[in-house]
Chains A and B, each alone.
Chain A
Amino acid sequence: AQSVTQLDSQVPVFEEAPVELRCNYSSSVSVYLFWYVQYPNQGLQLLLKYLSGSTLVKGINGFEAEFNKSQTSFHLRKPSVHISDTAEYFCAVSASKDNFNKFYFGSGTKLNVKP
């Protein structure tokens, strides 16, 4: 079975500081990796995804993530955060089973950007 671990439930950070949100997964098969963001009172939207190719993936709003197969990690980073980045971030893993990509989500990390 797959599992996704987001090690930090909350991350406070000051505006313009760098941030890293950690995500580790367990899987014995090839997976696809995603980060979703949920702004207050909104639905989840895709930030970025890794399917294959370059292990460094760039997404929207200046975020990027690096797939590290040996460490089974997919940490999300941004060099300089804004107040508007305050949201909850979910890491997700998709594994193929019976021609169906089942998603497994982490418990989320709340990013709180302070002025």
Chain B
Amino acid sequence: GAGVSQSPSNKVTEKGKDVELRCDPISGHTALYWYRQSLGQGLEFLIYFQGNSAPDKSGLPSDRFSAERTGGSVSTLTIQRTQQEDSAVYLCASSLSTGTYEQYFGPGTRLTVT
């Protein structure tokens, strides 16, 4: 079956512009996670969805970052007024539920802010 997909795979944007990153989880997976992977760094947790609700938004770096999930499926991560320090690979993962611990990762979106 299809895995987690993310789009676009690469995004180059100018500082100050808004960007939207999309994640399509595995069908039937109720939990969805967003992470950020900066050069030479580990994965930084951003936000988690159970269904359409986000119980934990503590990882969002600033109020320029927001995310939503509709229909318990597709999720969008929006970064407003992008800054150069937002440049990173943004990874999405999904899992069956909170009771199932394995996360399945997408290939990521590489964001470059110039």
> How many residue pairs between the two chains, A and B, have CB atoms under 8 Å in the bound complex?
57
Q: Which residue of A lies closest to B4 (CB)?
A: A43
A43 pairs with B107, CB closer than 8 A: yes
Chain A residues with CB under 8 A of B43: 90, 92, 103, 105
Cα distance A92–B93 when bound, in Å?
A: 14
Chain A residues with CB under 8 A of B103: 46, 103
* Number of interface residues, chain A, beta carbon within 8 A: 29
Residues of A within 8 A of B (CB): 4, 6, 9, 32, 34, 36, 41-46, 49, 51, 90, 92, 94, 97-108
Q: Which residue of B lies closest to A96 (CB)?
A: B98
The listed residue (B55, B91, B105) touching A45 by CB distance below 8 A is B105
A44 pairs with B105, CB closer than 8 A: yes
